[in-house]
Amino acid sequence: MTHFEPSPEPTIHARTLYTGRIIRLEVHTVRLPDGRTGERELVFHPGAVAILALKDDRVLLVRQFRKALERETWEIPAGKLEPEEDPLAAAKRELLEETGYTASTWHKRGFFYTAPGFCDEGIHLYSAQGLSFLLQQPDADEFLSVHALTREEAQAAVRDGRIIDAKTLLALAWWHPETFSKLT
């Protein structure tokens, strides 16, 4: 087949099929590089923050039920951005709401898209240190428990599948590369 360089796919026609509390679903008919048309199923998301929160060289993890997976997971604290919200402010808010902790030292550690094939969700990842417990105050529909795991305990949780989401695995790989590499 003829080789085409990647190039923008202008929208010819867009339909918004759902606008919910968190996501919006659109289907776009686009012009492909070879002149034909194609369909793109697109999920729009406000974006999110996630926090690698470290207390005495333990990582804070949130154990919660995930309806999309019909199972429990252990993840680093995270949550979606409110409209116009500054990502660092959102990270501080989510850490406090989900775990009850404030932190004295914050660093931006990276930004990544979770599922670029169909979704624009981007996650701002921060590290937080110098933690002090204030008061846990999760959202009304969040039911979760907080655990502080050592590096070895976190490693065990990766091995047995409790930790199984990309943002948490990436945060751990960046925290202790030698411990959380699966390729060496």
**Rule CB under 8 A: which of 138-157 touch a copy of itself?**
138, 140-141, 143-145
Please report how close the Cβ of residue 25 comes to a copy of itself at its closest, in angstroms.
Answer: 5
C-alpha–C-alpha distance, residues 23 and 47, integer Å: 10
Interaction residues for a copy of itself, span 49-108 (CB under 8 A): 52, 63-70, 72-73, 75, 78, 80
Q: How far apart are CA 166 and CA 77, in angstroms?
A: 13
**Residue with smaller CB distance to a copy of itself, 92 or 171:** 171
Shortest reach from residue 27's CB to a copy of itself, in Å: 7
Using an 8 Å Cβ cutoff, are 41 and 118 in contact? yes
Q: Quick check: 54 and 150 in contact, CB under 8 A?
A: no
Query: In 3D, which of 51, 88, 78 has the Cα closest to residue 144?
Result: 78
Under rule CB under 8 A, residue 45 binds a copy of itself: yes
Position 160 contacts a copy of itself (CB under 8 A): no
Q: How many residues does the chain have?
A: 184
Segment interacting with a copy of itself (CB under 8 A) among 1-9, 87-95, 149-157: 1-9
